[in-house]
Structures are given as C-alpha cells and as structure tokens.
Amino acid sequence: MKKLLIILLMSPIWSWAQQEVEGNYFKITATGGMPPYTYSMDSINFQVNDTFKCLSPGLYQYYTRDSYNNTLSKSIRMYAVLSGVVTSLGRTSITIGGVDGKSPYMYKLSTSSTYRTNGTFTNLQRRRTYTFNIKDALGYTATITATTL
C-alpha cells in the first residue's frame, strides 16, 4: 500500500499597517503572507512600489499580492487637505468652519488648549485679529486668521 502525502500551503493571516491619509498619496505596508509583496489599484497591474501618488479625494480599492499569488483587497478614502473658512464676521463675534478634510471638525482659539464642536466665537474685542485652529476627525489641523469689525 502506497502512502500519499498531502501538503497544504496556506498563507498566514495578512494585515495592513496603513491609515486613512490626507493629501494626494498613500503607502501600503503589508505583513503576514509570504514576501515579496506587490501592489495594485486595479487588481491587474501589480507593482513592487508600495506608494500610490497623485490621487484626488475619493474612495479607492487597492490590492496586495504575496509570492504565493494570494491577493487581498482593502478600501481607503483619500481626503482633501483640511482648510478653514470664515463664515461670519461681527463686531464681537467670528464664525469659522472646516472645509475638506474629514468631518466632524473641532475649533479653538489658538491661545486656548481646548477644542470645541462649535465654530462660533463670541465676546471678542472689536477690530482685533484672532487666530483659530481647526482639527478634523483624522487629527489634521489648519489655521485661519480673522479680524472682528
């Protein structure tokens, strides 16, 4: 009687050390699987470079393939660079808002240590310039300056 030896090759569990990123690029870092890894944005054209550049804001699907030809996919959302806008000016008040980035936004006077959810600042001095900080849900910050009337 002949013995049959069956070997199953299974790829270890994969994981990604990636985060949602700001700007126009992201880098994929895979662990597990069997190196070397290749990367793709269309599941057809794979490359050894793990960085994808010049991407506009939106939702992207990317693929990582190991040397056993196992392929995993994951989505990543690209956000535009956070900026701020003054939406209202008064004699003793200024209202600001976040633009682009990922909401919700948090706001503070630059001299304060505490962020808050409301972008309206009242009881300000007339004809004075104030600097504000805006933070989005990803932790990115922007600075905006405005002067009361």
Number of structural domains found in the chain: 2
| CA-based nearest residue to 82, from 104, 64, 65 | 104
pTM assigned to the model: 0.63
Are residues 104 and 45 in contact, defined by beta-carbon separation less than 8 angstroms?
A: no
- 46-62 mean pLDDT: 83
Q: Which domain holds residue 62?
A: 19-78
Q: Are residues 94 and 69 in the same domain?
A: no
Q: What is the CATH number of the domain that holds 94?
A: 2.60.40.10
Q: What is the CATH number of the domain that holds 68?
A: 2.60.40
Exposure pattern of 17-40 as b/e (b: 16+ CB <10 Å)?
Answer: ebeebbeeebebebebbeeebbbb
Same domain, 63 and 90: no
In a domain, 1, yes or no: no
The pLDDT tens digits of the residues spanning 93-136 come to 999 999 988 899 999 999 999 999 999 999 999 999 999 999 99
Do residues 74 and 87 share a domain? no
Please report whether residue 4 resides in a domain. no
The answer to the question of residue 10 being in a domain is: no
pLDDT at 12: 45
Q: Is residue 8 part of a domain?
A: no
129 located within any domain: yes
